Structure 1
């Protein structure tokens, strides 16, 4: 498992490559209703075509393009 935390700014530069002529804009920020995970909705353009990406913040502070998996309570049993 990769525990490297990449800042949101680095991901925006990687995916949207904003410049002075084609900037990236934050459209919306918030939290998911059920998991309360943070998200940032960004819009930009690549090769003159519009692109929208939503980044989700995960538990250890990393950002990714998929929402975090909800951690549910778990039980286990052992036979002695």
Structure 2
């Protein structure tokens, strides 16, 4: 029988990274933005983010945040 193992994947968030924060409730929109500054020790949070709607926030990411990768959208077949 295989033992189960939890793999931890650390995000590499840096100045210029694009992020997406998923809505936490039904009907909440996703927020997309760019990291302007990494203010934590060793590249950790908090992060100053400019969202695509022009707003800026200092965030401590939760499980609803992921890195946005350009080119992940499937193209025409």
The interval holding the TM-score normalised by the smaller chain is 0.3 to 0.5
- Indicate the structure with greater helix content: 1
TM-score by length of 1: 0.32
State which structure, 1 or 2, has the greater radius of gyration over its C-alpha atoms.
1
TM-score by length of 2: 0.33
Report which structure shows greater RCO (CA 8 Å, sep ≥6).
Answer: 2
